[in-house]
Chain A
Amino acid sequence: MNKTIPLTGYEMFSLQVLYVGASAGFLYPSLLINSTTGPLWAPIVVWALLAFSSCFLYGRMLLKLRGKELVPIIISSLGKPAAIMLLLPILLFVIAAITVMLRSFTELVTMTLLPTTPLLFLNGMIFASSALAAAGLMPIIRAAKVIFLLGAGTIISLLIIGTSGSHWELGGPWFQMSADFFTDGDFYGGSFVWMGFTYIAMIAPFTIKQAKLYQKGNMIALVLSVLMVGCFIYIPVMTFGREMSSQLTFPFVSKMDSIYQYWIVLENLTAIFMSATMLCLLLVIALKLKALMSIMTGIWPKVSINWGLAVVTVIIYIAAELIPEWRDLEKWVFNSYFLRFYAMFVFPGITLAGLHFKQRKAGGA
């Protein structure tokens, strides 16, 4: 397997957009709608700014890798004990993130399309992602390029179709500012949407040129992500109003249900949206598993990638099965935001500072 194949800006752009496609359409809109009574764009803008700053921080950190992968550099620079301390929360976070992502999607499938199909079967979709992750980085990238055109393309088309039957006046208030979302758990619970680039940083080696491409590709993707997130939230709100949208578990999915256009040949747009989301999700889980294995094999080089992946996959599968109720899932989403903040700011901040001092010391010596 060629470990030094460089990622292009387009590939990183595709991965980030797929991440938003996989995560922003189902759980996120209800979290954001319920986080404020003021304009909905305000929390979106705050999160977008945080995502841009985190992406910038990651970009600066990757500039220091000089052709190597992130985890080995951290270990060689900070020493193994410190590196493990730094990476363990990320490890825990990624495992939890995959579990929640998997279970929330299969729960969505149960609620909307297949009410009697056992979760035991639906959760099995992780094995497909695991197989993709086991195949290596380049199969993930190649699959990402295809799914980007297919999955993200479908989602963007559905977003455009979704604008039918929506009214600006229902989206208000537009200007009556309120900062109440800062004190609302839902606002922090929604942070998971804004961190696709953190996984991308862990899966491949980065030269200075690639680190610059990472920043460029992800920044452009974040601009598109903001537009997509805005649509995922405002389309149901401008159709159903704030009141009904805030009562729906999956407002955008219900919006897909409500579309009725004579010229649309396909009747069940919800199923199409779910299929497109599933394609994105399969890829994103593979990306996360790949990031997870990069961390694990970085810390414990003797771990076999395939066996490690198999064990982690089974653990996640069982964990997703063991979540008893939807409320438990929501609680985890709310309560794990500190891990996401850690992954977005603390981890790259400490790593950047560590690498900076180490390289400065080496330069001075």
Chain B
Amino acid sequence: MTLLHRTQRLTAIGAAVLCLLAAGGCWDSKDVDNRLLVGAIGIESTKDGRLNAWFRMPITSSAIGNEKDTFFSLIQHGETVMDAINKLQYKLPKALDVSSTRTVMLSKDIANSGLLPYLEFAVRDRSVPLDAVIAIVDGNMRSIFVRSNPIGELTGIYTKLYFEPYAGGIPRKNKAMLWEVYSKLLNPLQANLIPVLREDKRSLFTQIGNAYFVEDKIAGMLTMDETLIYEMITQRLVHSEIVLMSRSDLKIVHKKTRIKTKLVDGKPMIKVSIWVSVALTDKSHQEKNVTEDTIKAELNEQLQKLTKSMLQKTQSSGSDIVGFGNWYRGRLRPETYTSWPELYRKADIDVQYHVRLRNTGLEFLK
């Protein structure tokens, strides 16, 4: 064997040993059995200017002693969320892992005083997933965190499933993710619309509406029906949604939206055209004159009424939840973007609905 071959063999052996060393594990590894995976975080402000952070963690099946408890909840007082997470570690034998958090709930007090300081940690440190759902809790959030979920899904996950279109999510619920909320907090041309929950005696919580924001503070609330209009304009209505009317109940199965914008003498002129395709699910048996035309006219009237109230609320507070301002990025100078809420207040917004009754279900409408 020549010297060259011997050197090559030694190098190969050295490289193999190095690979073995690398295979031994990495610095960041923590077995799943040694972690407490946080499903939901709740943040509420306290009178001393600090916060209480709630954590709800599912207990893995291997760790369950008796089958009664499927989750574990803790509350921690702290200066910031990270401080609370750190302090909570004093009480826990396992590593607290917030990287799997599905939902972050914020108290209404926080929404009133400003969201931004409470969310920055999640984006800056990449600690909480950017696709975690954000919700405001009106009232006490204690029961949401400490009571068992009567429906029995995995603890923590249900809060996300509640909003997910593939599970219990319907358009009116308006799923708002962390990155969406954070980007709108920084975008002067668009405001946030975040679901508001309240504890419920039977099902843990229920949704009472969606809060619209000015900057990072809550400015008011849309009803669930008004939220439907927001979903239609922003083309977020991906699945069907039921609309109840006096003569019939309809299922919206498809929609398309076109937005045209102009700036005339410093006044935004916005024209929204929405094509709504609906299917009849139920018709009133008390009303005799139920025809396709009357159904369409009534739906149009109802949608116009909801649009008017939705726009009245948001325009009066300068909260552009749809993000019409983004269409003006090329027409306004970037340094004047901050004046958009004022422009939005006086904007002329015309919303037209084109209703198509796609079918009447498996029965003819006579």
Q: Which residues of A contact B (CB under 8 A)?
A: 37, 111-118, 121, 131, 167, 169-170, 172-176, 239-244, 247, 254, 257-260, 262
B364 is an interface residue with CB less than 8 A from chain A = no
Q: Which residues of B contact A116 (CB under 8 A)?
A: 27-28
Pairwise interchain contact B330-A173, C-beta atoms closer than 8 A: yes
CB contact between B28 and one of A115, A175, A247, A254 (< 8 Å): that residue: A115
CB distance from A349 to the nearest CB of B (A): 37
Pairwise interchain contact A258-B177, C-beta atoms closer than 8 A: yes
Pairwise interchain contact A257-B126, C-beta atoms closer than 8 A: yes
Q: Which residues of B contact A117 (CB under 8 A)?
A: 26-28
CB distance from A307 to the nearest CB of B (A): 12
Q: Which residues of A contact B123 (CB under 8 A)?
A: 254
CB distance from A37 to the nearest CB of B (A): 4
> In the complex, what distance in Å separates the CA atom of A257 from the CA atom of B26?
22
Q: Which residues of A contact B329 (CB under 8 A)?
A: 169-170, 172-173, 242
Pairwise interchain contact B326-A254, C-beta atoms closer than 8 A: no
Q: Which residues of B contact A254 (CB under 8 A)?
A: 123, 130, 179
CB distance from A331 to the nearest CB of B (A): 21
> In the complex, what distance in Å separates the CA atom of A257 from the CA atom of B15?
34
> In the complex, what distance in Å separates the CA atom of A341 from the CA atom of B3?
46
Pairwise interchain contact B326-A241, C-beta atoms closer than 8 A: yes
Interface members, chain B 160-179 (any A CB < 8 Å)? 164-166, 177, 179
Q: Which residues of A contact B32 (CB under 8 A)?
A: none
Q: Which of B68-76, B185-193, B241-249, B352-360 is near enough to bind chain A?
A: B185-193
Pairwise interchain contact B27-A259, C-beta atoms closer than 8 A: no
Pairwise interchain contact A247-B186, C-beta atoms closer than 8 A: yes
Pairwise interchain contact A167-B326, C-beta atoms closer than 8 A: yes
Interface size for chain B: under 10, 10 to 19, 20 to 34, or 35 or more residues?
20 to 34
Q: Which residues of A contact B190 (CB under 8 A)?
A: 241
B220 is an interface residue with CB less than 8 A from chain A = no
Interface members, chain B 171-213 (any A CB < 8 Å)? 177, 179, 182-184, 186-190
Pick from B126, B182, B187 the residue with the most CB of A within 10 Å: B126
Interface members, chain B 129-149 (any A CB < 8 Å)? 129-131
> In the complex, what distance in Å separates the CA atom of A243 from the CA atom of B190?
11
Pairwise interchain contact A244-B330, C-beta atoms closer than 8 A: no
> In the complex, what distance in Å separates the CA atom of A131 from the CA atom of B18?
14
Q: Which residues of B contact A241 (CB under 8 A)?
A: 183-184, 186-187, 189-190, 326
> In the complex, what distance in Å separates the CA atom of A190 from the CA atom of B15?
36
Q: Which residues of B contact A174 (CB under 8 A)?
A: 330
- Determine the residue in chain B with the shortest Cβ distance to A127: B18
Pairwise interchain contact A244-B27, C-beta atoms closer than 8 A: no
CB distance from B271 to the nearest CB of A (A): 15
CB contact between A243 and one of B164, B186, B327, B333 (< 8 Å): that residue: B186
Pairwise interchain contact A244-B182, C-beta atoms closer than 8 A: yes
B334 is an interface residue with CB less than 8 A from chain A = yes
Pairwise interchain contact B166-A240, C-beta atoms closer than 8 A: no
Q: Which residues of A contact B131 (CB under 8 A)?
A: 257-260
Pairwise interchain contact B187-A175, C-beta atoms closer than 8 A: no
10 chain-A/chain-B pairs, Cβ below 8 angstroms: A111-B126, A116-B27, A172-B330, A173-B334, A240-B183, A241-B186, A241-B326, A243-B187, A257-B179, A258-B130
> In the complex, what distance in Å separates the CA atom of A116 from the CA atom of B190?
37
> In the complex, what distance in Å separates the CA atom of A167 from the CA atom of B322?
12
Chain B contact surface mostly:
loop
B114 is an interface residue with CB less than 8 A from chain A = no
B58 is an interface residue with CB less than 8 A from chain A = no
CB distance from B332 to the nearest CB of A (A): 9
Question: Which 6 interchain pairs have the tightest Cβ spacing?
Answer: A172-B329, A173-B330, A260-B131, A169-B326, A244-B183, A117-B27
Q: Which residues of B contact A240 (CB under 8 A)?
A: 179, 183
Pairwise interchain contact A114-B26, C-beta atoms closer than 8 A: yes
Q: Which residues of A contact B126 (CB under 8 A)?
A: 111-112, 257
Q: Which residues of B contact A170 (CB under 8 A)?
A: 323, 326, 329
> In the complex, what distance in Å separates the CA atom of A117 from the CA atom of B30?
13
Q: Which residues of A contact B183 (CB under 8 A)?
A: 239-241, 243-244
Pairwise interchain contact B28-A114, C-beta atoms closer than 8 A: yes
Pairwise interchain contact B179-A258, C-beta atoms closer than 8 A: yes
> In the complex, what distance in Å separates the CA atom of A239 from the CA atom of B182?
12
Pairwise interchain contact A262-B28, C-beta atoms closer than 8 A: no
- Determine the residue in chain B with the shortest Cβ distance to A171: B329
> In the complex, what distance in Å separates the CA atom of A241 from the CA atom of B179?
11
CB distance from A272 to the nearest CB of B (A): 15
Q: Which residues of A contact B28 (CB under 8 A)?
A: 113-117
> In the complex, what distance in Å separates the CA atom of A254 from the CA atom of B122?
12
CB distance from A36 to the nearest CB of B (A): 10
CB distance from B65 to the nearest CB of A (A): 29
Pairwise interchain contact A37-B27, C-beta atoms closer than 8 A: no
Pick from B27, B165, B166 the residue with the most CB of A within 10 Å: B27
> In the complex, what distance in Å separates the CA atom of A262 from the CA atom of B323?
26
Pairwise interchain contact B330-A257, C-beta atoms closer than 8 A: no
- Determine the residue in chain B with the shortest Cβ distance to A113: B28
> In the complex, what distance in Å separates the CA atom of A37 from the CA atom of B332?
12
CB distance from A40 to the nearest CB of B (A): 11
> In the complex, what distance in Å separates the CA atom of A363 from the CA atom of B350?
77
